[in-house]
Amino acid sequence: MIKGRKASGGKYKNIKKKKLYARKGLERRVKLKKIKKKIMKGRGGILKTVLLAADYANIFDPKTKKAKKVKILNVIETPSNRFLARQNILVKSAIIETELGKAKITNRPSQESMIQAVLMQ
C-alpha cells in the first residue's frame, strides 16, 4: 500500500483549520440585573447593539391589546434549559415573573437590545 492512500487507491484529504469567518462567536447570556448594553462591530462595518443585562421588559397584554414597560422580578422557568432559570438568565420562551404577573419572552434578547414578552393568563 502507498502511504497517504486508502485501500481503494483514493487519497486522504487533509483537515483544514477553520477560517476566521467560519468560527463561532462568543455566547452572550442576558442576565437579570441593571440594564447594560454593548455596541459590537459586525462584518461589513455594521454596528450591533447587544444586550448583556436587563431588568425591564415590554409586556404586551392580549386582553387590552396594549404594551407596557414593566420591571422583571424573577425568571420562573426556561423550557430549553432548566439551569438557565436558576441563574436568572433571560432567553427566548423563558417564563418570567413581572409586576403584572407571569409573562413569556417572545424575542431573542441577546440579539436584539430589548426584551419583548406576552402576558400569560
Domain boundaries, the chain: 27-119
Q: How far apart are CA 121 and CA 117, in angstroms?
A: 13
The hierarchical CATH code for the domain 27-119 is: 3.10.290.70
Q: What is the pLDDT of residues 41-69, one digit of tens each?
A: 888 889 989 999 999 999 999 999 999 99
Kind plus residue range of the DSSP H or E element containing 83: helix 82-86
For 6-28, the pLDDT digits (tens) are 989 899 888 888 888 888 878 88
Spatial contact of 116 and 107, defined as CB atoms under 8 Å apart = yes
| Residues 86-106: b if buried by 16+ CB within 10 A, e if exposed | eebbbbbebbbebeeeebbbe
Contact 32, 55 (CB under 8 A): yes
Provide the β-strand partners of residue 69: 58
